[in-house]
């Protein structure tokens, strides 16, 4: 499938139970930037640790 982008998805509720936020993007890095912004505003998490990044990246899935 030439020219088609692989899309990635992450749901915050996979890490923070009860949170309904989710993102779809073409790269893990784009998702991590968006999730970091969300973590700060919605959950008060201003320090993104290596462990948190690992928890997020482990749960990013390919959707197409």
> Does 2 reside within a domain?
no
> Does 1 reside within a domain?
no
Residue 20 structure tokens: 């309904």
User: What is the span of the domain harbouring residue 20?
Assistant: 8-62
Provide CB contacts within 8 A for 27, sequence distance 6+.
8
**Burial call 31-40: b when 16+ CB within 10 Å, e when fewer:** bbebbbebbe
Q: Say if pTM beats, i.e. exceeds, 0.75.
A: yes
pLDDT in tens, 1-60: 566 789 999 999 999 999 999 999 999 999 999 999 999 999 999 999 999 999 999 999
> Does 41 reside within a domain?
yes
Provide CB contacts within 8 A for 2, sequence distance 6+.
none
Structural domains counted in the chain: 1
């Amino acid at each position: 499938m030439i020219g088609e982008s692989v899309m990635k998805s992450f749901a915050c509720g996979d890490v923070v139970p009860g949170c309904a936020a989710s993102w779809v993007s073409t790269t893990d890095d784009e998702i991590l930037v968006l999730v970091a912004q969300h973590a700060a505003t919605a959950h008060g998490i201003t320090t993104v640790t290596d462990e948190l990044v690992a928890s997020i990246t482990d749960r990013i899935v390919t959707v197409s």
